[in-house]
Chain A
Amino acid sequence: DTGVSQNPRHKITKRGQNVTFRCDPISEHNRLYWYRQTLGQGPEFLTYFQNEAQLEKSRLLSDRFSAERPKGSFSTLEIQRTEQGDSAMYLCASSSYRGAQETQYFGPGTRLLVL
């Protein structure tokens, strides 16, 4: 499968615990995005990498959230001291910039439930 992969697919944790998600983008894609999707809503932008550089963070990304993309390949999203409001689907997307026709390809997401 050459699409975007995310692990784990599901995560249940207790409030206050730390969790880490991984995203493996489509190979050769230099851009990687994280979005969050809550029930009944569209995805909301969290952060974006071009290669290994994190170029923008949404104000939705509180200090408890951190994302990395070492070596410009896979990316991790860590949430520290989880809260019930963090329960959501976390989506990763990757793209290869081709001017106006950039297409973001989404992974299947990691569904987080904070108890």
Chain B
Amino acid sequence: QQQVKQSPQSLIVQKGGISIINCAYENTAFDYFPWYQQFPGKGPALLIAIRPDVSEKKEGRFTISFNKSAKQFSLHIMDSQPGDSATYFCAARRRTNQAGTALIFGKGTTLSVSS
């Protein structure tokens, strides 16, 4: 059972356009929702994160919108640039049985920004 569903699987956006990636979750016990960016051959790097008591968070060109009642959240990349071409993962943090914090990841979205 996939706990975090991410769409679309791939996305092509023109330079300067808006990239939108969506995620939905099932477990209401999740308490933290980060987005990671991954380039080929590299580990994931934290991009931006949000807690469920906040509906929107913006950092530069990146914005997370969060809808707690719908159990959905999305990443918006404004003024998309070729350097943004990467794979993006949404994730949700769940509490492990010893107060740890394992991340549950979506399957990823491969973004290509054409120049």
Cross-interface CB contact of A42 among B97, B98, B106, cutoff 8 Å: B106
With an 8 Å Cβ cutoff, the count of chain B residues facing the other chain is 29
B103 at the interface (CB under 8 A from A): yes
Whether a CB of chain A sits under 8 angstroms from the CB of B60 is: no
* Chain A minimum-CB-distance residue to B106: A42
Query: Is the pair A104, B43 in contact by a Cβ cutoff of 8 Å?
Result: no
Kindly state whether residue A74 has any CB partner on chain B within 8 Å.
no
Q: Are A48 and B108 in contact (CB under 8 A)?
A: no
In the bound complex, residues from chain A placing their C-beta under 8 Å from that of B4 are: 42
- Cβ–Cβ contact B104 & A45, under 8 A: yes
- Judged by a CB distance under 8 angstroms, whether B46 is at the interface is yes
Q: Mark contacts of A23-67 with chain B using CB atoms, 8 A cut-off: 1 yes-contact digit, 0 otherwise.
A: 000000001010100001111110010100001101000000000
Q: By the criterion CB–CB under 8 Å, are A106 and B44 in contact?
A: yes
Interface centre among A31, A41, A45 (most CB of B within 10 A): A45
A43–B41 touching, CB < 8 Å: no
Mark each residue of chain A from 80 to 107: 1 if its CB lies under 8 Å from any CB of chain B, else 0.
0000000000010101010011111111
B31 touches A4 (CB 8 A): no
- Whether B105 lies near A103 (C-beta < 8 A) is no
Which residues of chain B are near A31, meaning CB under 8 Å? Answer: 100-101
Kindly identify, within residues 1 to 16 of chain B, every residue whose CB is under 8 Å from any CB belonging to chain A.
Answer: 4, 6
Name the distance in Å between B25's Cβ and chain A's nearest Cβ: 13
Minimum Cβ distance to chain B for residue A10 (Å):
10
Q: A106-B43, A108-B42, A108-B43 are in contact. Are A40 and B98 (CB under 8 A)?
A: no
Residue in A44, A58, A95 whose beta carbon sits within 8 Å of that of B105 in the complex: A44
Contact assessment for A108 and B46 in the assembled complex, using a CB-CB cutoff below 8 Å: no
Given that A103-B34, A108-B42 are contacting pairs, would A42 and B91 also be in contact in the complex, using a CB cutoff of 8 Å?
Answer: yes
B7 to chain A, nearest CB (A): 13
| A84, chain B: closest CB distance, angstroms | 22
Give A101 to B48 CA distance when docked, in angstroms.
11
Q: Residue B103 contacts which of A43, A55, A97, A101 (CB distance < 8 angstroms)?
A: A43
